[in-house]
């Protein structure tokens, strides 16, 4: 399997029952990522 630079395509947003904002990303190779933002903090984390 050859290595490549993943391209993160935003697959959409979802809000959990606990009020967290979840961003979903996916690369065409099948790798996926999620990033969770806590709505009550209001600032992104690294």
Which residue ranges make up the site for Zn ion (CB under 5 A)? 6, 27, 29, 31
- Could you list the beta-strand ranges (E) of the chain: 9-15, 20-26, 32-38
- The residue (of 25 and 27) whose beta carbon lies closer to Zn ion is 27
- The residue (of 29 and 39) whose beta carbon lies closer to Zn ion is 29
Least Å distance between CB 42 and Zn ion? 31
Copy the structure tokens of residue 33. Answer: 């990522």
- The residue (of 1 and 46) whose beta carbon lies closer to Zn ion is 1
Q: Among 3, 2, 7, 4, which residue's Cα sits nearest to residue 28?
A: 7
């Amino acid at each position: 399997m050859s290595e490549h630079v993943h391209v993160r395509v935003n697959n959409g947003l979802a809000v959990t029952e606990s009020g967290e904002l979840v961003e979903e990303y996916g690369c065409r190779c099948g790798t996926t990522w999620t990033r969770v933002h806590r709505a009550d903090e209001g600032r992104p984390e690294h």
